[in-house]
Amino acid sequence: MADFIEIVVNGEDMPFFFKQSSHTVQTPKPAGSSCLLNLMRVTAALIVVLFAAHAHADGDPILVGQSAVLTGPFTPNSLAFISGQTLFFDKFNAAGGLNGRRIKVVTYDDAYLGDKAAANAEQLIKQDHVVCLFGTMGTAIGAAMTKVAMANHSFIFGGLTGAEVLRDTKLPVYHIRASYADEARRTMTHLRIIGQTRVAVVSSDDAYGKGIEEVTLRALTDGGNPAVISLRFDPKQDNLRDVAERVTKSNAQAVYVIAAGLPAINVIRALSVLPSHPPIYTNSVGSSFLLYKELGDKSRGIILSQVMPPFWQTRLRITKEYQQALQGAGQQNQASYMGLEGYITAKVFTEMLRRVSGSITTESLRHAIENSGPVDVGDFSISFSPSKKSGSDFVDITFLSDGGKFVQ
């Protein structure tokens, strides 16, 4: 018999049926709904964020709570992360889970709205009784859910943000990825090493841009080469030619763009259409898919820092394992940095569950995370302690080549 799966999107219950034998999903066509909603239903179904029970995993499931961006901005990043976590958890559950207990992720849509994310966190902790929250997307979402987690003595594992505001060790958030500050410092060091000492900094005039701008300017000054120009722009403005022209007139050898989503695309587009411009750098928030979709061949040569190992290479055991898992699931064309991050986050999480002594509770899991030492997932190590909630400071430098593909 098929297992019933329920995902909540746009405030509507969405029933799907998951066949254990073939792992296919059937979605009833809702009467009178738009093509876009139908597509979103199918997309959400294909991710399958609640996993089917396996015959040999007969213990009570370990419930994990997730508020995700299934609709609205940043949906591609969120879905890519979920595909990676699902890939690992499916494999883990198929192998018998943890002593016969499968991991079951309960996911609600927050549409990238803080109020909805907070409400989701309340429901997940108080009604669904999850052991913890998992894989939250973005700074505003993470901040909203952190307040709920603190009030209910819970925590977030694998927050998808590099913002310093959520890096305070007193906050109950365990990060797998390096911070935005780590990315900025690594990029400025890279520029200094290759002799590009005249650097322009362009930031969105919002909390995201200002926070990273401060760290970037400090890193340049500490390295002996202050920014030749530092500009802020209105993220709601789409015509940024004047900003781009001021950058080129500064004779900068490189420009570091600090913005997320469409605002980043707008300023990079303004630079790329000029007859000449300095090399464009940005951080891991930049989506290669979105950059190539919006800029086409003009995205070639954009340099991005990354907080995960190169997903397309096999020199590391974890990236080789990830590629093999994708191939085994028939998803070999879906590899991505966000997918790898979801996969690694899920793998570290299950290892922490293994290290729990006695019953698995929120507190016993927290103790295992903070006190059981480093986790080597395959030539890539993550470690936490009571005074260290950022598990990694790994930062790599990549650039976009033809077709939006990454190259080191």
Distance CA 141, CA 110 (A): 8
Instruction: Identify the domain containing residue 257 by its residue range.
Output: 180-306
Query: Residue 285: which pLDDT band, with cuts at 50, 70 and 90?
Result: confident
**Residue 185 and residue 174 share a domain:** no
Q: Are 94 and 87 in contact (CB under 8 A)?
A: no
Whether 167 is covered by a domain: the verdict is: yes
* % of the chain exceeding 70 in pLDDT: 86
Whether 214 is covered by a domain: the verdict is: yes
**Residue 298 and residue 337 share a domain:** no
Domain holding 368: CATH number?
Answer: 3.40.50.2300
Select from 306, 335, 355 the last residue of a domain: 306
pLDDT of residue 35: 41
pLDDT of residue 44: 47
Whether 4 is covered by a domain: the verdict is: no
Whether 31 is covered by a domain: the verdict is: no
pLDDT of residue 26: 29
For 354-379, give the secondary structure using H, E and C: HCCCCCCCHHHHHHHHHHCCCEECCC
pLDDT beyond 90 at 189: yes
**Residue 238 and residue 191 share a domain:** yes
Helices (H), 163-287: 180-193, 207-222, 241-249, 262-272
Mean pLDDT of all residues belonging to the chain: 87
**Residue 169 and residue 186 share a domain:** no
Of the candidate ranges 60-64, 73-77, 176-180, 245-249, the one whose mean pLDDT is the lowest: 73-77
**Residue 147 and residue 68 share a domain:** yes
**Residue 356 and residue 283 share a domain:** no
**Residue 289 and residue 194 share a domain:** yes
Q: Characterise 317 by phi-psi region: left (phi > 0), alpha (psi -120 to 50), beta (else).
A: alpha
Q: How would you label 134-172 residue by residue, b for 16+ Cβ within 10 Å and e otherwise? A: bbbbbbbbbbbbbebbeebebbbbbbbbbbeebbeeebb
Q: What are phi and psi of 173, to 5 degrees?
A: -130, 125
pLDDT beyond 60 at 37: no
Select from 285, 306, 327 the last residue of a domain: 306
- The radius of gyration of the chain's CA atoms, rounded to the nearest angstrom, is 22
- Give the tokens for residue 150: 């603190």
Whether 243 is covered by a domain: the verdict is: yes
pLDDT of residue 73: 67
Give mean pLDDT, residues 71-100. 93
Q: Write the pLDDT tens digit of every residue in 330-387.
A: 998 999 999 999 999 999 999 999 999 999 999 999 999 999 999 999 999 999 999 9
Question: Could you tell me the pTM of the whole model?
Answer: 0.84
Whether 400 is covered by a domain: the verdict is: no
**Residue 142 and residue 214 share a domain:** no
Question: Which CA distances in Å does 64 have to 34, 36, 79, 136, 292?
Answer: 32, 29, 17, 12, 34
**Residue 321 and residue 281 share a domain:** no
Distance CA 260, CA 139 (A): 11
Q: Are 327 and 66 in contact (CB under 8 A)?
A: no
Q: What are phi and psi of 43, to 5 degrees?
A: -60, -50
Q: What number of residues does the chain have?
A: 408
**Closest among 73, 82, 142, 139 to 107, alpha carbons compared:** 82
Q: Give the number of domains in the chain.
A: 2
